[in-house]
């Protein structure tokens, strides 16, 4: 992985681990400042650009929620089957019906905050911008400031050139301010399925 003339970014295991750790820690929709810092941190472990980070979080969030949705619908179907089951005559109810489904109803439910706590002893830090103008909006990459992401040119041309961040003023704030992304995620899931 991380080949020279590859047409698309291929994350190194280190990078992937750190990205997943960040995601579990609550960073699901980093804004441009966050992306800049994540990028510069991860560039220590291999070639990476801001847009790779951007796309990774976008895809990971979408596919994570997709997975949750599927699991949820399976659960609902299961419930439905259970309802039918209990509607059926008692004579047919003597085989074990419960061992077929997934082991736990909502396996993800209580995990996030645990992970968030444990993730504090991670080695990297990155910056969190001050609360956005209206403190509800949590602007995304397109928000009031945009990323400068320059391609290192046509592939193969410049091997040691890590993507550089354009805006220098990077003051370090505290870690993991994200508050309640799980709830928001759940409501979103309930909204559209």
Partner DNA sequence: GCAAATTAATGATTTATTCAAG
Partner DNA sequence: CTTGAATAAATCATTAATTTGC
Give residues in contact with a second copy (CB under 8 A).
Answer: 7, 50-51, 133, 142, 144-151, 154, 166-167
178 lines the binding site for DNA (CB under 7 A): no
Whichever of 86 and 146 has its CB closer to a second copy, that residue is 146
Residues contacting 193, CB < 8 A, separation 6+: 69, 72, 73
| Residues in the chain, overall count | 193
Which among DNA, a second copy, none contacts residue 139 (Cβ within 5 to 8 A by kind)? Answer: DNA
Residues contacting 183, CB < 8 A, separation 6+: none
52 lines the binding site for DNA (CB under 7 A): yes
Size of the site for DNA (CB under 7 A): 33
| Token pair in block for residue 2 | 């991380």
Q: What is the largest CA-CA distance in the chain?
A: 74
Whichever of 1 and 83 has its CB closer to DNA, that residue is 1
65 lines the binding site for DNA (CB under 7 A): yes
Measured from the Cβ of residue 40, the count of other Cβ atoms closer than 10 Å reads 19
In the complex, the smallest distance separating the C-beta of residue 74 from DNA, rounded to whole angstroms, is: 16
Which among DNA, a second copy, none contacts residue 167 (Cβ within 5 to 8 A by kind)? Answer: a second copy
Output the DSSP codes for 61-96. Answer: HHHHHHHHHHHHHHHHHHHHHHHHHHHS-GGG--S-
137 lines the binding site for DNA (CB under 7 A): yes
Which among a second copy, DNA, none contacts residue 9 (Cβ within 5 to 8 A by kind)? Answer: DNA
In the complex, the smallest distance separating the C-beta of residue 47 from DNA, rounded to whole angstroms, is: 10
46 lines the binding site for DNA (CB under 7 A): no
Q: Burial, 84: exposed, middle or buried (Cβ in 10 Å; 0-12, 13-18, 19+)?
A: exposed
In the complex, the smallest distance separating the C-beta of residue 151 from a second copy, rounded to whole angstroms, is: 5
Q: Which of 45, 15, 55 is nearest to 140 (CA)?
A: 55
63 lines the binding site for DNA (CB under 7 A): yes
By the 8 A CB rule, do 17 and 172 touch?
Answer: no
């Amino acid at each position: 992985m991380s080949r020279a003339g590859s047409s698309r970014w291929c994350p190194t295991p280190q990078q992937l681990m750190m990205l997943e750790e960040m995601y579990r820690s609550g960073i699901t929709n980093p804004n441009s400042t966050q992306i800049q810092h994540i990028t510069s941190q991860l560039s220590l472990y291999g070639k990476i650009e801001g847009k790779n980070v951007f796309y990774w979080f976008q895809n990971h969030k979408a596919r994570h929620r997709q997975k949750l949705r599927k699991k949820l619908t399976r659960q609902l179907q299961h419930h439905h089957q259970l309802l039918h089951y209990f509607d059926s005559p008692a004579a047919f109810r003597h085989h074990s019906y419960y061992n077929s489904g997934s082991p736990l109803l909502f396996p993800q439910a209580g995990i996030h905050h645990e992970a968030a706590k444990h993730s504090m002893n991670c080695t990297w830090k990155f910056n969190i911008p001050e609360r956005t103008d209206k403190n509800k909006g949590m602007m995304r990459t397109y928000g009031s400031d945009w990323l400068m992401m320059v391609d290192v040119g046509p592939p193969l041309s410049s091997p040691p050139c890590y993507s550089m961040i354009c805006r220098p003023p990077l003051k370090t704030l505290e870690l993991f301010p994200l508050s309640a992304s799980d709830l928001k995620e759940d409501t979103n899931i309930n909204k559209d399925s």
